[in-house]
């Protein structure tokens, strides 16, 4: 603050007492008397028209000043109902300036937490913001930083508890990094996956977490070249240069089937999801591996692959055969539930834990993975890349664990 500014401040002391105005030299940025012609401050675009506040009045100029030295003040600063009542849509910084009786630049400094505003003036602006319900345009703020503070999440089905846990974990990590999550369900349709991903990219998300519905991800290459980061979760995608987070599907299935073999079972059925799904193929491979290690043949009549809608009929047909299985290994939580609904209770181990598995009699033995851990690991890896983390693509495989509850320990 130079001496001329101090003198000007002192000369206008009487006017300050007469009219509650902002005469701090730091806050005397000119405010155009035609609010709509004032350029948006700090990248925040107006969302509505100018306010219909009572006609402003102009402070009388001191000798030697120019018209640019004048600042427009709102009448009756003790009551801004006229301002708030005339706002169309969301309040803007111009509305706040009119309600507080300060320059637009003063509001911009307060909103953006910039220096140059006295505590008393900042409090006055904050009070006007509170009264009007003004909220800063976060989209404009983050865009100035070159990001949108959003990520896209594409999962198989948001209604599936497994994917709901993944989604919640991703959301928690995103919030820790000041970001929001846009999510959608592919329904195991590669075309829908692509549409969702590209729609998210059109909205300029910073990164993507994708549970692949297919194996062709060439469509992602232009987005990756443009700087979008991506992580494949639960299944690998079709691009080796993209980070991937999986669970140990082969090892988990192998452990579950070996558990049934240790309890005396030799004819063990496998009920899995569609072979087009990576996790279903991997779990079938684990089933075959456990049988081979025990010296047992894999009877193809005891293996069925497909959606859970076919599970009940397939299991009933197997159990009605001349040489039925004495135990069943199910490939995911939905198939386990479908098998239980048949009313038949052979020895059973299911891949994926599910709600109430421990409340049944006997409780359902499961090979549990941690969907929340899968989602958190994928999200943390994504934000690591967004923060500048480099290096070759990572492939992280998370362990599973066997939870004995009774159904997998039944004898043949």
What pLDDT score does 116 carry? 87
E strand segments, 134-214: 150-155, 180-185, 207-210
Q: What CATH number is given to the structural domain containing 342?
A: 3.40.50.2300
Task: Encode pLDDT of 211-230 as tens digits.
Answer: 999 999 999 999 999 999 99
Tokens for 142?
């983050």
Q: Are 151 and 382 in contact (CB under 8 A)?
A: yes
Q: Tell me: pLDDT of 315 over 50.
A: yes
> Is residue 64 located within the same domain as residue 205?
no
Q: Tell me: pLDDT of 73 over 60.
A: no
Q: What CATH number is given to the structural domain containing 114?
A: 1.10.260.40
**pLDDT average, residue stretch 266-283:** 96
> Is residue 336 located within the same domain as residue 262?
yes
> Is residue 57 located within the same domain as residue 41?
yes
Supply φ then ψ for residue 356, to 5 degrees.
Answer: 75, 5
Cβ-Cβ contacts under 8 Å for 253 (sequence gap 6 or more): 282, 283, 284, 285, 286, 287, 289, 290, 329, 331, 351, 367
The pTM (predicted TM-score) of the whole model is 0.69
End residue of a domain, out of 90, 112, 141: 141
Cβ-Cβ contacts under 8 Å for 172 (sequence gap 6 or more): 376, 379
Calpha distance 46→140 (Å, rounded): 11
**pLDDT average, residue stretch 371-376:** 97
Q: How confident is the model at residue 9 (pLDDT cuts 50, 70, 90)?
A: very low
| Inter-CA distances, 93 with 84, 121, 133, 331, Å | 12, 15, 11, 57
> Which of the residue ranges 13-22, 170-179, 193-202, 348-357 would you say has the lowest mean pLDDT?
13-22
> Is residue 381 located within the same domain as residue 361?
no
End residue of a domain, out of 98, 122, 141: 141
What pLDDT score does 135 carry? 78
Supply φ then ψ for residue 93, to 5 degrees.
Answer: -65, -30
What pLDDT score does 285 carry? 98
> Is residue 114 located within the same domain as residue 163?
no
> Is residue 202 located within the same domain as residue 239?
yes
What pLDDT score does 23 carry? 39
Q: How confident is the model at residue 184 (pLDDT cuts 50, 70, 90)?
A: very high
What pLDDT score does 63 carry? 38
Supply φ then ψ for residue 266, to 5 degrees.
Answer: -120, -25
Calpha distance 134→93 (Å, rounded): 8
What pLDDT score does 192 carry? 97
Tokens for 342?
């048949």
Q: Tell me: pLDDT of 165 over 70.
A: yes
> Is residue 261 located within the same domain as residue 136?
no
List the domain range (segments joined by +) for residue 265: 249-370+402-409
Q: Tell me: pLDDT of 145 over 80.
A: no
Q: How confident is the model at residue 141 (pLDDT cuts 50, 70, 90)?
A: low
Looking at per-residue pLDDT, the higher value among 277 and 72 belongs to 277
> Is residue 33 located within the same domain as residue 106?
yes
Question: In the predicted model, what is the mean pLDDT of the chain?
Answer: 82
Tell me how crowded residue 31 is: count the other CB atoms within 10 A of its CB.
21
> Is residue 155 located within the same domain as residue 137?
no
Percent of the chain with pLDDT over 90: 64
Q: Are 300 and 288 in contact (CB under 8 A)?
A: no
E strand segments, 120-237: 150-155, 180-185, 207-210, 229-233
Q: Are 151 and 209 in contact (CB under 8 A)?
A: yes
End residue of a domain, out of 82, 117, 141: 141
> Is residue 238 located within the same domain as residue 377?
yes
> Is residue 259 located within the same domain as residue 297?
yes
Tokens for 392?
């070759």
> Is residue 291 located within the same domain as residue 363?
yes
What pLDDT score does 85 carry? 54
What pLDDT score does 146 carry? 59
Q: Are 261 and 268 in contact (CB under 8 A)?
A: yes
Task: Encode pLDDT of 44-57 as tens digits.
Answer: 333 344 344 444 44
**pLDDT average, residue stretch 259-268:** 98
Looking at per-residue pLDDT, the higher value among 54 and 349 belongs to 349
The string of DSSP codes covering 92-123 is: -HHHHHHHHTS-HHHHHHHHTT-S---HHHHH
Calpha distance 220→198 (Å, rounded): 8
- State how many domains the chain has: 3
């Amino acid at each position: 603050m130079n001496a001329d500014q101090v003198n000007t401040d002192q000369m206008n002391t009487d006017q300050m007492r007469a009219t509650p105005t902002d005469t701090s030299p730091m806050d005397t940025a000119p405010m155009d008397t035609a609010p709509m012609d004032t350029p948006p401050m700090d990248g925040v675009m107006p969302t509505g028209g100018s306010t219909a506040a009572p006609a402003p009045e102009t402070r009388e100029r001191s000798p030697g000043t120019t018209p640019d030295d004048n600042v427009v003040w709102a009448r009756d600063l003790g009551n801004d109902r006229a301002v708030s009542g005339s706002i169309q849509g969301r309040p803007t910084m111009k509305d706040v300036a009119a309600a507080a009786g300060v320059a637009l630049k003063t509001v911009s400094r307060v909103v953006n937490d910039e220096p140059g505003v006295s505590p008393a003036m900042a409090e006055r602006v904050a009070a006007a913001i509170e009264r009007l319900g003004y909220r800063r345009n976060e989209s404009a703020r983050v865009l100035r930083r070159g990001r949108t503070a959003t990520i896209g999440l594409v999962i198989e089905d948001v209604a599936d508890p497994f994917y709901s846990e993944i989604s919640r974990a991703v959301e928690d990590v995103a919030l820790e990094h000041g970001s929001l999550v846009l999510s959608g369900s592919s329904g195991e349709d590669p075309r829908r996956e692509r549409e969702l991903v590209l729609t998210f990219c059109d909205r300029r998300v910073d990164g993507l977490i994708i549970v692949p519905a297919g194996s062709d991800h060439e469509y992602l290459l232009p987005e990756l070249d443009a700087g979008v980061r991506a992580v494949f979760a639960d299944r690998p995608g079709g691009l080796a240069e993209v980070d991937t987070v999986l669970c140990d599907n082969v090892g988990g299935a192998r452990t579950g089937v070996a558990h049934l073999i240790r309890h005396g079972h030799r004819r063990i059925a496998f009920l899995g999801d569609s072979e087009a799904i990576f996790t279903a193929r991997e779990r079938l491979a684990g089933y075959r591996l456990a049988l081979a290690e025990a010296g047992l043949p894999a009877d193809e009549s005891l293996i069925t692959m497909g959606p859970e809608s076919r599970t009940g009929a397939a299991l009933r047909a197997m159990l009605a055969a001349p040489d039925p299985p004495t135990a069943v290994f199910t490939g995911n939580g939905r198939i386990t539930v479908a098998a239980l609904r048949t009313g038949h209770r052979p020895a059973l181990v299911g891949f994926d834990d599910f709600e109430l598995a421990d409340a049944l009699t006997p409780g359902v033995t499961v090979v549990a993975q941690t969907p929340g851990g899968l989602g958190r690991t994928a999200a943390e890896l994504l934000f690591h890349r967004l923060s500048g983390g480099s290096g070759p693509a990572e492939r992280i495989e998370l362990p599973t664990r066997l939870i004995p509850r009774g159904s997998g320990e039944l004898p043949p």
